[in-house]
Amino acid sequence: MSHEQTYNEEVERCPAVKKRVSKGRRITGYFATKDYSYRATQAAGDGWVTIGDAFGFLDPLYSSGVLLALRSGEMAADAIVEGFQSGDLSDAQLGKWGPLFNLGVDRMRRLVCEYYDGFSFGQFVRTYPHLKGTITDLLIGDLFTDRVDGVWQKMESLYPEGKVPPASWDSGTSPEVAANKVNELILPRGRGRSDVTDH
């Protein structure tokens, strides 16, 4: 099935979307991409803060998006209030929540990566039944406490020989993966960047 056919079928299934796009004019072809997780390199600067999807987006496999957006807002709000009280709206003050938040996102990302890599959570809870609650806690969003980190070493003990833990989110894309990602974004031939927007 082509990207165009998929697009048209999905638009037909949703009258609200069909109505919205009916007034538009297509100026380029149909294309697709995947693995669109991202994260900003900093949570704040002097006098500004990013939260929610402005800060980052994680693969929605475990439906963590709203939790992470609200948690980032809560953590940033605490830093902002404290900054106003002390008269300090520096990047250090406004972004002080960033490292802990990133650690929480890393924990959820690890579960996502393990799932996509074929890790058997069923085997894990059969082997370590006392950690079933901890895995459940992680999945429901208990991401900001070191207590949950007891699962990672146990997970790694079930890896097949030669498997390594997922690389950190900011480690870059390996050459092997990058080569396979080249064609994930398929743009029509002969269309320059100036053709992407309608002037």
Q: State both tokens at 139.
A: 């999945």
Tens-binned pLDDT, residue by residue, of the chain (199 aa): 888 999 999 999 999 999 999 999 888 888 776 667 889 989 999 999 999 999 999 988 888 999 999 999 999 999 999 999 999 999 999 999 999 999 999 999 999 999 988 999 999 999 999 999 999 999 999 999 999 999 999 999 999 999 999 888 877 666 766 665 555 555 556 554 444 444 3
Element (H, E) at 31: none
How far apart, in Å, are the Cα atoms of 106 and each of 34, 46, 58, 72?
A: 19, 25, 10, 14
Read off the pTM: 0.73
Sign of the CA dihedral running 171, 174, 177, 179: positive
Eight-class DSSP state of 168: P
Cβ–Cβ < 8 Å for 107, 138? yes
